[in-house]
Amino acid sequence: MARPNCTETCGNISIPFPFGIGTGCYMNDWFSVDCNKTTADSPSRAFLSRINMEVFKISIGSSVVRVNSPIISSGCSGRGANLSFDMTGSPFVFSSLNIFIAMGCNNRALLNRIEPEIVGCTSTCGANNLTSSSTEGVTLYSDAKNSDAMYCYPPVNLTSGRWGLSTVTLYSNSTTCRCKWGYDGNPYLPDGCTDIDECKIPRRNWCSGMTKCVNVPGWYKCELDKAKITFLSKFLSLNSFFLRNL
């Protein structure tokens, strides 16, 4: 759910507030989204403006945004790219859903500015085991601060020229909002949370038998169903009439 009069989607991606496209549609500059169209035949693509990373999915309920991270490489047939990924000062942090990978031989990948230690991994291999699937020479570092392991995958053959996209999941470390139990919607918008009618959703209420479900704000209650009681009363009266006349 976007702000009123703001674009809600970019291509196939939903852009809910606090993210937004255009002035006045986002919470602050970190949540600004650019919607770019590369070709006439392809759908528009969403990018976080401040860090220029493509957005794959935004989940307000989980405070998570999936983005396309840059591939940092060197020694790959002249296609090296010495890039950094700096989120200093942003409201985002890496989530524990990510895997930190160093591919190839004699590589060292580090995550710095993580106090009080530097986290990373190193991959090493000899000339005879470039295509080996063994884990020999793979170093594993553990981030004691977050208790999340950082893995380096086994060495792989990079001569095939295969390139792919890598994805990163980011958490927001700023103030997060959630709708109260029994409500749904976008908690970042005024009146963005609306009541859930549990009576209309199967298995969301436990009313049965002689009771009926009555929705109330944020919850539901079970009340005696007068129509069922009246029907049962008439049925019993009719049965007693037949019994008396037997």
Percent of the chain with pLDDT over 90: 22
Residues in Cβ contact with 23 at an 8 Å cutoff, skipping those fewer than 6 apart: none
pLDDT at 35 over 70: yes
Using alpha carbons only, how large is the chain's radius of gyration in Å? 28
C-alpha to C-alpha distances, 51 to 47, 118, 163, 185, nearest whole angstrom = 8, 22, 22, 27
Burial class (CB in 10 A: 0-12, 13-18, 19+), 89: exposed
CA distance 64 to 95: 8
181 against 238, higher pLDDT: 181
124: helix, strand or coil: coil
* Region 23-51 average pLDDT: 90
**Each residue's pLDDT tens digit, 56-82:** 999 888 888 888 876 666 666 655 555
Domain locations along the chain: 196-244
The CA dihedral of 143, 119, 53, 77, to the nearest 10 degrees, is -140
* Region 91-95 average pLDDT: 78
Confidence (pLDDT) at 10? 95
The chain-wide mean pLDDT, for the chain, equals 70
**Each residue's pLDDT tens digit, 130-176:** 433 333 333 333 333 332 323 333 333 222 222 233 444 555 555 67
pTM: 0.63
